[in-house]
Amino acid sequence: MNNLGGFFDAPRKQAELEKLEHQISEPDFWNDSEAAQKIVQQRSRLEKALAQQENFETAISDAEVLIEFAEADENSLNELDTLVNRLEKEVSLAETQSLLSGETDANNAICSIQSGAGGTDAQDWAQMLLRMYLRWAERKGFKVEIIDEQTGSEAGIKSATFRVEGEYAYGLLANEAGVHRLVRISPFNSGGSRETSFASMFVSPEIDENIEVEINDKDLRIDTYRSTGAGGQHVNTTDSAVRITHLPTNIVVTCQNQRSQIQNRAVAMQVLRSKLYELELEKRRADNADLEAAKQDISFGSQIRNYVLHPYRLVKDTRTKFEVSDVEAVLDGDIDDFIKEFLIFKKGG
């Protein structure tokens, strides 16, 4: 657990911060805006880490005082319990963040969910999966924007693309990329048979304008069509929705939830840039087996996690073997333990 020790190494972080402050104070610091932006972001992360360390030390001091009075004072005991519970959650979060060190881990995330094998059941499962991640983001205090959503023919969704804004959103959600498998009694089958459904999750880091991604106009096919989603003054009245196909990679992105075609096109281009950047990252990490699940067919044998509602109740990650029996809690967004276990697994346990 040396990486956790590194996270709480306040003297080292203070020294790093002072070094960055010296760089930022140089007259020619902003000559290279891209490099300068990275340093400023690194300073911000160090400042937050040091503030977190100070908060931990303050909380521990408060706990020591409360312990002295807890035996004789019920109010102090209750306050101590509340403080310990809060500290446990904050330390667990700090441990998880200490496992995130990738270049884009601190970025926002752009996620896409796609229904797979299983027909209407799979489309319903894709919508359940979308709700799970939206609830998770809500629990984290992250902001979510639905960029595009294609409804299913009978129920659920065929696909959805959404943006998650929050610190380390990409680093956390990148571990969820892959195929998710659901086993349950089908609510769409009158015979009450057990069905297996699949849906996939793809995740890209949102990149800012300082990161260059070369996109040639001749490589793009841009189509417009009438929006089909609910809401918005232009929905079903103008061809405001935009679909962009990147011909060399066959990556397709769509956006229909903005107010105008110009806004939809701008958002779609941002999503395309992020997906192309993630594709380049995947090429660099081609030897990393952790990414293979995201590249496989959305069908049996390629899943990263199984969600079983019948004949027993269990959610199990096929990579780490971590499992929980409270399926309802998981589907309601309680997936932090799965994310943390996989981060530890990637670091070699």
Q: What pLDDT does residue 300 have? A: 53
Q: How many Å is the Cα radius of gyration of the chain?
A: 23
Amino acid found at 243? R
CA–CA distance, 136 with 133 (Å, rounded to integer): 5
* Residue 136 tokens, joined: 């998770």
Least reliable range by pLDDT among 25-29, 166-170, 194-198, 277-281: 277-281
* 105-349 matches 2-98 in CATH topology: no
In the chain, where are the structural domains located? Answer: 2-98, 105-349
pLDDT digits (tens, 9 = 90+) for 89-124: 788 777 887 888 777 888 899 999 999 977 899 999
SS3 for 70?
Answer: helix
CATH class of 105-349: alpha beta
| Closest by CA position to 213, among listed 269, 282, 143 | 269
Pairing of strands 314-317, 303-308: antiparallel
pTM for the model stands at: 0.71
pLDDT digits (tens, 9 = 90+) for 270-319: 899 888 888 887 776 664 444 444 444 555 557 999 999 999 999 999 99
Mention every residue, 6+ apart, whose C-beta is less than 8 A from residue 168.
97, 100, 105, 106
Terminal CA-CA length for the chain: 9
Q: Which CATH architecture has domain 2-98?
A: Up-down Bundle (1.20)
